Structure 1
Amino acid sequence: MSRAFSQPELLTPATVEKVLVTAQRLGYVPNQVARALSTGRAGNIALILPDVANPFFSALMRGAQAQAYKRGYATFLGDSDETAHLEDVLLGKLAAQVDGFVLASPRLDEQLIRKHAARRPVVVINRDLDGIGRVLVDTTGGFEAAVDLVAGLGHRTIAYVGAPVSSWSNQQRANAVAITGATRGLRVVEIAAGRPSHEAGRSCVAKLLESGATAALAVDDVVAQGIMAGLAERGLFIPRDFSVIGCDDIIASTTYPPLTSVNAHCALAGANAVDLLLNGLANPTPPIESHVIKGELVIRGSTGPAPALVPAPGGRTRGRKVAPAEPDPSSRK
């Protein structure tokens, strides 16, 4: 019976189900303290996130917790508040209570991550470290497709609105936009949003408009949503006056207009990371694995043709027309 709770992957699904049904009927509950004494395992894992309020990490957390529960493990959650120091503290304090860690988008430097991985098994998400199990959400292709989309719609200056430079995902996305933009003959402006948030997106709108960009590709949907709000406050309509693209595809379908976004399969990343960790715990000499999840562009209503520019005195380009107080009927979706 114990194996059905501790290592269900070693049994057939029918056997596991039969054991669990019988245990439920008898009111049997595994004694975690006794199990820890006999096996050296606590039956817990920890998931460390930079920002639990960010929809990407919330979805990742749900995927990870569901998979851990399915395999008989409880999940501790730590929010590092986007700081490497707190990440380090959480890894140190939780190590005695868990069998291993899933470390999502870590802000720690490589040396410290390896130090903690030598103490407890660690799987990282969105950090490519040789010798450590990892799940990489590769959104490069999605951002390349996003640049191709806006180029095909006539946009000549675009902006990438990014996150902290310590973010592996941000680096991949910024590079994809810069390289693909250059290939398509576009002018690419990079704007740092700082910590990804709705307010960060709103705050960068002035720089976006000053740059002459007519389309923005944001590091995630939350920043993109903030950009949309900031543009609306200035009387601009999307996509008539400006196009916006996000990433993660968590809240994209709920914005107005619905947001074009790169689907990052967040929940799947969390589930895969838990599987890598628990498979490693079950195998004394586990192979170091790397799972790559490909993101793809989902086109919705926030992208459209580049706006016509208004000639300024002297023949220079002054910028887009500011929309009237009410949109014309053709702009409604």
Structure 2
Amino acid sequence: MHRRARAGRRHVTRWRSRSPWLGAGAVRPPTIYDVAAAAEVSPSTVSRAFSRPGRVSAETASRIHRIAAELGYRANALTGVSARERTSAVAMVVPDVTNPVYFGLIHGFEAAATKAGYTVVLADTRWSMRQERTVLDRILPAVDGLVVTGSRLSDRGMRAAAGHRALVMLNRIVPGTRTVLVDTAAGVDAALRHLVGLGHRSVTYVAGPPASWADGMRWRSLLDAAPRFGLRISRIGPYPPTMAGGTAAVDGLLRDLPSAVLVFNDLVAIGILHGAKQAGIGVPDEMSVVGFGNVVGADFCTPPLTTVGTPMRAMGTAAFEQLQRAMSGDPMDTHAVVSLTARLMVRGSTGAARRRRTRPAVDGIRPAGPPRGSRTMAAESS
């Protein structure tokens, strides 16, 4: 018994050094044969311990499950096939399935995959790096390929995952993987051109999560574009990518109320609209607000939200097309990056820059001003 335990620990130590998430040299995930060797049983006994535990003694089953967990082995319960077999399943991994920005993305991907004969697995990482690792560990053996958006893992970690299955990244470039992204620079240009046309001379960027690749791209695009438009820029944040995050951002904006804000995403922008109303800040009378995403409901806000619209359904379709190329082994030098056009949707949350009225603050809250009706303007192309 002790000899078996020591053997198991030796195998565990060796496999930990090969983990695709923890170090270099990862060549493959542990297999049923590695678990069998570490537990000093046959592969068929390992298989029974997972599929028919009643046919294995409690002591043996416990030892097998413990060693399997330490090795990082996961039985492919979804398909019952080995890592090398085709599953006719593909996965989409998103950071928050309740975020409306992903509705069109999921729809486009699912429609294209289903038409091609694939089953779609949808996974939610809850904006957690640890949860994302767990999700990838579980689904990599169960699918032929996957699309990942909003990843918190390093480039090295994503390349390790791509070494096991066909992988496509969304709105993030990872060398060695395929990518579908939105032309952020063009979207930011369209937003700034619109604001300058309304007389604004300064813009504050309300930042999203610090680990977000898209947040970094939007900020860098703003830094690059601002001098061309003669704009002063500043930044507050980071804030969670939620409506609650936007409401919290209003406290930061109140310290020096900007003429206009460009916001990480529409949910944060909608939260700012709500918080501004509670604080008595007129939008767009005193502050113009521009979001990113054109999510469902952005045009039903009060006032309706001006936003850099991203073609999410088209992105989902393009993501599956990229994944098909990866699964079929097409060379990476063809169509490695697909860029989609962003469009500025001009609505009622932006207006002419006006001289700010000075009103006393009471306990950090500005007294409410007169209500303003919402208005919708014609959409403007980037």
- Bucket of the pairwise TM-score, normalised by the shorter protein: 0.7 to 0.9
- By how many angstroms is 1:324 displaced? 5.1
Look up the match of 1:17. none
Q: Aligned runs of 1:12-91 on 2, under 5 Å?
A: 40-91=85-136
Show the counterpart of 2:309: 263
1:202-226: CA deviation from partner (whole Å, max 9, x where unpaired): 1011211213312111111111100
Q: Which residue of 2 aligns with 1:156?
A: 201
State the 1:156 CA deviation.
2.6
How far apart, CA to CA, are the structure 1 residues paired with 2:237 and 2:79? 48
Gaps of 5+ in 2: 1-77, 360-365, 376-382
Q: Which amino acid aligns with 2:347?
A: R
Alignment of 1:47-196 (within 5 A): 47-196=92-241
Q: Residue 323 of structure 1: CA displacement? A: 7.1
The answer to whether the Cα contact below 8 Å between 2:186 and 2:342 also exists between their aligned partners in 1 is: yes
Aligned pair count reads 289
Contact 2:257/2:287 (<8 A) preserved? no
Give the whole-Å Cα distance in 2 for the aligned partners of 1:80 and 1:58: 16
User: How far apart in 1 are the matches of 2:101 and 2:357?
Assistant: 39
1:156-195 superposed Cα distances (whole Å, 9 cap, x missing partner): 3321111123222111111122232233332211112432
One-letter identity of the residue aligned with 1:142 = G
Richer in strand (by share): 1
Assess if the C-alpha contact under 8 Å between 1:139 and 1:264 holds in 2: no
1:215 is aligned, of 260, 285, 302, to 260
- Per-residue deviation, residues 96-145 of structure 1 (Å, max 9, x unmatched): 11111111132110111111110111111111122211111122211122
Q: Identity over the aligned pairs, expressed in percent? A: 31
CA distance in structure 2 between the aligned counterparts of 1:285 and 1:207, rounded to whole angstroms = 48
1:326 corresponds to = 370
Cα distance in 1 for partners of 2:184, 2:143 equals 31
Which of the residues 242, 250, 258 maps onto 1:205?
250
Distance 1:132 1:215, change over 3 A: same
Q: In structure 2, what residue type is equivalent to 1:282?
A: S
- Tell me the equivalent position of 1:228: 273
Measure, in 1, the Cα distance between the counterparts of 2:374 and 2:181: 38
1:193 and 1:201 in contact (8 A); partners too: no
2:328 matched residue in structure 1: 282
Q: CA RMSD in A?
A: 2.4
Counterpart contact for 1:237–1:323, Cα < 8 Å: no
CA distance in 2, matches of 1:332, 1:273: 36
Query: 2-side partners of 1:290 and 1:184: how far apart?
Result: 29
Q: 2:181 and 2:98 mapped to 1: Cα distance? A: 21
Q: Summarize the Cα distance change of 1:184–1:286 in structure 2 as closer, same or farther, 3 Å threshold.
A: closer
Unaligned runs of 5+ in 1: 1-31, 313-321
Q: CA deviation at 1:283?
A: 4.1
SS at match of 1:145: helix
Give 1:296's aligned residue. Answer: 343
Closer/same/farther in 2, CA of residues 234 and 122 from structure 1, 3 Å limit: same
Paired with 1:187 and 1:327, the residues of 2 have a C-alpha distance of 29
How far is 1:265 from its partner? Answer: 0.6
TM-score (norm 1): 0.80
2:63 corresponds to: none
How far did residue 326 of structure 1 move?
3.5
Secondary structure in structure 2 of the residue aligned to 1:309:
coil
Shift of 1:309: 2.7
**SS across alignment from 1:96:** helix
Larger radius of gyration: 2
Q: Tell me the SS of whatever aligns to 1:204.
A: helix
Distance (whole Å) between structure 1 residues aligned to residue 225 and residue 326 of structure 2: 38
